[in-house]
Amino acid sequence: MTLKLLALGLLVDVVAITALAYGIYYRRHGKSDLALAFMALNIGVFAAVALLANAEVGMGFAFGLFGILSIIRLRSTQLSQNEVAYYFISLVFGLINSLGASNLAVAAVLDGVLLLVMLALDSALVGRNRRQHHIILDRAFTDHKMLRQELQYRLGATVETMDVVEIDFVREITEVNVTVREGGESAREDHMLRQVEKEEADAFTARH
């Protein structure tokens, strides 16, 4: 592979990952640290694969190496499911544009298809009325049903997914990542009921 083709492949890759990290992810979720991480990961993968492709190293070894690196990265940081998807596509961009530098038209088309897919899947239409939160509760919850009810009460919305990060019995806290949907009738009713109960309890305490 010539240096010119490699440079063109890198240009296509940078355009693709910038569109993904900042054009789609950052505008949708506003996390600049992860957008930068996706950029760095992608360019690092591109450089490493380009080097291995021109060396006497089997591609099976190369893909195995990146599989190990991806597992380490995913286990070291708490990522939501949509962030895992962006992480995976960042890896794929690096592989496609490095290995496909000799056929940039095909690589560019694949990049475009993946960008359109991510744009559609993570669009405002798909994620309408949904919010993500990182919550720390001042109680150690071991019952998922009670945890869900508590989250719905505090947020006033229907809990779609919840991922418990940590339960600490010493500090009496529960740390959880939660996705909620606005407009759920059951959540609003539960929130109003719990609010009334709290007001009645406060009023009883004040009288006595």
pLDDT given for residue 203 in this prediction: 60
Determine the Cα–Cα distance for residues 206 and 163; give it in Å rounded to an integer.
Answer: 38
Determine the Cα–Cα distance for residues 46 and 94; give it in Å rounded to an integer.
Answer: 4
DSSP single-letter state for residue 77: S
Task: Compare 202 and 179 and report the one with higher pLDDT.
Answer: 179
Q: Is the pLDDT of residue 144 over 80?
A: yes
Mean per-residue pLDDT, 12-32: 89
Q: Is the pLDDT of residue 91 over 50?
A: yes
Determine the Cα–Cα distance for residues 10 and 104; give it in Å rounded to an integer.
Answer: 10
Tokens of residue 126, six digits: 């798909």
pLDDT given for residue 110 in this prediction: 93
pLDDT given for residue 76 in this prediction: 47
Which of the residue ranges 86-90, 165-169, 190-194, 201-205 would you say has the lowest mean pLDDT? Answer: 190-194
Tokens of residue 171, six digits: 């500090």
Residue 91 · residue 41 · CB < 8 Å: yes
Residue 111 · residue 16 · CB < 8 Å: yes
DSSP single-letter state for residue 103: G
pLDDT given for residue 19 in this prediction: 95
Q: Is the pLDDT of residue 15 over 90?
A: yes
Residue 164 — φ and ψ, nearest 5°?
A: -75, 120
Mean per-residue pLDDT, 25-53: 85
Mean per-residue pLDDT, 22-45: 87
Q: Is the pLDDT of residue 51 over 90?
A: no
Q: Is the pLDDT of residue 84 over 90?
A: no
